[in-house]
Amino acid sequence: MEEKKVDWLSLLKGTAVGGVLLFLWNGLTQSFTPWGIKSIKELEDQATITETIARASTNGVYYLKDKVTAFIAVKPEAYYSMPRYFTIEFVTEVLVGGVLTAILLLTSTESIVTRLIIIGLVALAGIFSIDLQYWNWWGFSSIFTFGIAINRLVGYLLTGFVLIKFIL
Tens of pLDDT, residue by residue over 66-92, are: 998 888 899 998 999 999 999 999 999
Please give the residue range of the domain that contains residue 12. 8-42+80-167
pLDDT of residue 117: 98
Residue 135 covered by a domain = yes
Question: If 0-12 CB within 10 Å is exposed, 13-18 middle and 19+ buried, where does residue 114 land?
Answer: exposed
Specify the DSSP element, H or E, that contains 71: strand 70-74
Instruction: Tell me whether residue 87 is in a domain.
Output: yes
Closest CA to 27 of 112, 120, 89: 89
Domain count, the chain: 1
Segment 27-58, tens digit of pLDDT: 999 999 998 888 998 888 888 888 988 998 99
Q: Is residue 109 part of a domain?
A: yes
Is residue 31 situated within a structural domain? yes
55 part of a folded domain: no
Task: Please state, in angstroms and as integers, the Cα–Cα distance from residue 36 to each residue in 3, 26, 55, following that order.
Answer: 42, 10, 30
In a domain, 51, yes or no: no
Is the pLDDT at 93 greater than 80, yes or no?
A: yes
- Confirm whether 58 is domain-assigned: no
Report yes or no on 90 lying in a domain.
yes
